[in-house]
Chains A and B, each alone.
Chain A
Amino acid sequence: MSLFWIVIRQLAEIEAMATSKKVITREEWEKKLNDVKIRKEDMNKLVMNFLVTEGYVEAAEKFRMESGTEPDIDLATITDRMAVKKAVQCGNVEDAIEKVNDLNPEILDTNPQLFFHLQQQRLIELIRNGKVEEALEFAQEELAPRGEENQTFLEELERTVALLAFEDVSNCPVGDLLDISQRLKTASEVNAAILTSQSHEKDPKLPSLLKMLIWAQNQLDEKAAYPRINNLSTAALEDPAV
């Protein structure tokens, strides 16, 4: 948060100084940046937050030992969460459901949308594996009652069952359901629900900070020419085009 406000304050200063577009040289810019103080502990916490949220449990453990940064969550729970996520990503949805229920039975009992999406993913996997009979039976027995309860679910169910109607599923209008991205989508939904149940944010903070950086730069572009960061992975300052 603090980094964001520093940028904002600088923006305000610049706005006060210049009415027309001002040019700031790399030298001036770097001097300004040097005046900004970032605490090391804050950086470490951001890194830890990223590792924990993304589920890099071993890296988090190592990082904890090396940097002395305490994670805000029991690292053991990350392992469980990652196992669930991985199971969905591999298409073992039933296994994932069992694991979530072991972790906390309230999650799926109080989150009908997530429960439906997991069941839908199960159906998709059955269809993918060519188990037509079983897929039909599963759709009728497990999914149809959910569709009766909720209009949106019914539409999604119809879309999914439509997969059975096509000979060449890879080339049909609902083929995207068989895509790996569908698994990833479901996996990230489960991941988010587990994190929420653990009172943890479902997104890491680092990407938000970078988003704010880009937004602030865009705002600044209207007022000044300055060394901009265009490549986020190198974070290199690029000379202003004058």
Chain B
Amino acid sequence: MPTTTTTAATTGSNILHRLTSADRDVKLKALRELKNQIIGNRTKKLSFLKLGAVPTVASILSDAVSTDAVVDNNNDNINKNIIVQSAAVLGSFACGFEAGVKAVLDAGAFPKLSRLLSYHDEKVVDAGARSLKMIYQSKLAPKYDFLLEKNMEFLLSLLNNENENVSGLGASIISHSCKTSVEQKLLSDAGVLRKLTSLLGGSLSQRDASLESLATIFKSNPEVVVKFVGNESERALSCIIDLVKDRFARTRLLASLCLIIVRNTSPCYLQDLAIKTKLINTLLELLGDPGQVGDEASFAFSSLIAQKEDMQKLAFEVNAIDKLYNHLKGGSLHPLRFEGILLALADMCSKLECCRSRFLSLQVLNLVIDALAHDSSDVRIAACICLRSVSRSIKNLSAGSFMNETVVIPLVRLLDDSSTSVQVSALGAISNIVVDFTTRRSLFIRCGGVKQLVQLSKSMDSTIRSNALWALRNLMFLAENKCKEGIFLELTASLLASLICDPEPIVQEQALALVRNLVDGCISSVEYMFAEDGIIFDAVGRQLRSASKAEIGIQGMYVLSNVATGKESHKEAVMNQLLPTENRTQPYLINFLQSNDSRLRTATVWAVVNLTCSSSPGASVRVVKLRDAGIVSQIKNMVNDPCLDVKLRVRTALGQLMTFEDSST
């Protein structure tokens, strides 16, 4: 509509023109008009921003403040009004609008607004404090340095101020700028906790601001939490607990968040069943809030239950899965809310089978599958994480609940996503769903999944490489021969060998684990190791000799263990790899057996067990070689290994070794 735009633009430049008028009444009227245009209206904020309104208003504020200082005329009402209105305009530009915050800061308005705090006129102070508060809600606000003594004094004076906007500003500064444990401790020592606690009894905005700051000061700092909960007073904590029942939704959310941070920082507090249930119920109920509170509630819920089986159990008992599902079911959710609910479901299903069963019986899966194709990448990521969490269910994996076209096709499609994070999380979900259902792997291959995974294993991004290998590794797990062959042909021996020697240890580990699954099972699969002149086998040997971390040794040793279950020639190849004749230095086998990592000791003893299996003809010769290399005596030293797993394998190995000892003497 050309007419509309013209009118809007004309009104816009008209207001701007009048702002520069020499007539102060005209100027004041224009300021108010501008304020009423932009408040609550993002579109208008943007268009006035583009017209350059912010620097104009900032200079009006600056001039008015200087005039006030020079004239020192308390009766100059117009000037006071100009100050109030221009501060309000700047505050509104900064409210919930990052570009606006940037413009206000760039225009140098920040120090001018700060000066308003020392005025006697309450209206001026209010306007200044409100606008600064808006700026401090943004990440762009300048960091407040608590380490400077005069800054700390100023902060305390703000917190002690009777004016609720000023004390609220003090709290906002803390929420924005307090980041390190040193700052947390400094604030705590300066008596800020006590001050904030007293604000909990104040007005709505003071209460909310104080809850937010308290949470900031507590976060991951057990020392401060102990000081607050332990020494200061039980009363302060119970005051926050009461606020979880407050009339206002935002206050309930902030109080819950504050308690969650106390719990997560110092797990010894707030373990009472009543409080735990109260928090769960409050957050589930807040999901129903139509505004920002509802958007944030699911994230708070996640932080309450994540990694905590007891909390997930409790939440399950109050039907959390059903409640989360009901919000999803409504459809047309704001992306942030959608993402939050999916992540909350993911956390709910991360440990407990009962949650996963409920999830699947409610058909939540269909909604999650739809979310895989959502416009927002954050929602797509959350859907993948959710899928990964639910597909930890062995029962349902075996039943093939996830290996069907409705799940696999959209997931494989995400492997092509433009966002790396989406690709990585899709790989995470795929890694789980390809596990353990021999009959349906072909579907995944038919959908082009293997081609995609192989492609991604050549990615420039090491996280993608390792996750793609992880998925292939799981796909290879207990797979039938035909399936293995298909994957191997796609991968090729040379690619596998180069991935085993990848510069990144996490990639090396996954590549070795993949090979371990490849050669697991029947003898014919062991042959893969020796394709193309044994480049894979040589690569494994190279990595074992220079293993940079235990995990690589573990996977490598299992590869050799599996190869050692093969024919005589395979066993001999492993022997040559482990104890090369030309090398006189201590074999890495000894180092592995002496490792602190019991998993590595187990894997190594396994290899020895498979090499010395008495039924094979060359075993006695191998035992002699192993004895000469000091391996047998090392294993004898391990009969009382603290790890049961190791001990068991050591006994088996010794039992086999003894049969040869007996016959040779």
What residues make up the interface of A, taking CB atoms closer than 8 Å to B?
97-98, 101, 104-106, 108-113, 115, 137, 140-142, 145, 149-152, 196-199, 201
Min CB distance, B328 to chain A, in Å? 15
Interface core residue of A110, A113, A142, A149 (most chain B CB under 10 Å) = A110
CB-based contact A196/B204 at 8 Å? yes
Closest to A109 in B: B95
CA A110 to CA B204, docked complex, whole Å: 14
B374: CB under 8 A from chain A? no
Asked if residues A105 and B88 are in contact (CB atoms below 8 Å), the reply is: yes
Give the bracket for the number of chain B residues in contact with chain A.
Answer: 20 to 34
How distant is the Cα of A196 from the Cα of B204 in the complex, in angstroms? 8
Given that A101-B35, A115-B40 are known contacts, is A109 also in contact with B96, CB under 8 Å in the complex?
A: yes
Which residue in chain B gives the minimum CB-CB distance to A106?
B130
Partner of A137, one of B4, B36, B41, B134: B4
The 10 A-B pairs at the shortest CB distance, nearest first, are namely A115-B40, A199-B203, A199-B204, A108-B40, A145-B43, A109-B95, A105-B88, A151-B332, A108-B39, A109-B39
B627 neighbours in A (Cβ, 8 Å): none
In the complex, the answer to whether A105 meets B91 with C-beta atoms within 8 Å is: yes
Chain A residues near B43: list those with CB within 8 A: 145
A residues within 8 A CB of B92?
105, 109
Measured CB to CB, the closest approach of chain A to B39, in angstroms, equals 5
Could you tell me if A110 and B96 are in contact, using CB atoms closer than 8 angstroms? yes
Chain B stretch 319-357: residues in CB contact (< 8 A) with chain A: 332, 334
Q: Which of B134-160 contact A (CB under 8 A)?
A: 134
| Residue in B8, B40, B248 whose beta carbon sits within 8 Å of that of A109 in the complex | B40
Query: From residue B176, how far is it (CB to closest CB) to chain A in Å?
Result: 17
Among the listed A150, A151, A196, A198, which residue makes an inter-chain contact with B248, where contact means beta carbons less than 8 Å apart? Answer: A196
A105 with B39, Cβ < 8 A, contacts A137-B4, A141-B8, A196-B248 known: yes
- CB pair B7 A137 closer than 8 Å: yes
Contacts A106-B134, A142-B41 supplied; 6 other A-B pairs, CB < 8 Å: A97-B36, A105-B35, A106-B95, A111-B40, A150-B334, A197-B205
Task: Let me know if B580 is at the binding interface, CB within 8 A.
Answer: no
**B655 located at the interface, meaning its Cβ lies under 8 Å from any Cβ of chain A in the complex:** no
Complex CA distance for A170 and B88, rounded to whole angstroms: 41
**A151 to chain B: closest CB distance in Å?**
5
Chain A binding surface, main DSSP class? helix
B44 to chain A, nearest CB (A): 8
Chain A residues whose CB sits within 8 angstroms of the CB of B334 once the complex forms:
150
Q: B205 contacts which chain A residues (CB < 8 A)?
A: 197, 199
For A145, the chain B residues whose CB sits under 8 A away are: 41-43
Shortest distance in angstroms between A136's beta carbon and chain B's nearest beta carbon?
9
CB proximity of B521 to chain A, nearest CB, Å: 54
Question: Across the interface, do B36 and A98 meet the contact criterion of CB distance under 8 Å?
Answer: yes
Q: Which residues of A contact B40 (CB under 8 A)?
A: 108-109, 111-112, 115
Contacts of B42 in A (CB 8 A): 145, 149
**Complex CA distance for A113 and B293, rounded to whole angstroms:** 13
- How far apart are A37's CB and chain B's nearest CB, in angstroms? 28
Which residues of A have CB within 8 Å of B134?
106
When distances are taken between beta carbons in the complex, the residues of chain B under 8 Å from A140 are 1, 4
**B127 to A, closest residue via Cβ:** A105
Q: Please indicate the chain B residues that have their CB under 8 angstroms from the CB of A150 in the complex.
A: 334
B235 at the interface (CB under 8 A from A): no
Q: Is B50 an interface residue (CB 8 A)?
A: no
Distance in Å from the Cβ of B172 to the closest Cβ of chain A?
12
Closest to B91 in A: A105
Cα–Cα distance between A149 and B39 once the two chains are bound (Å): 16
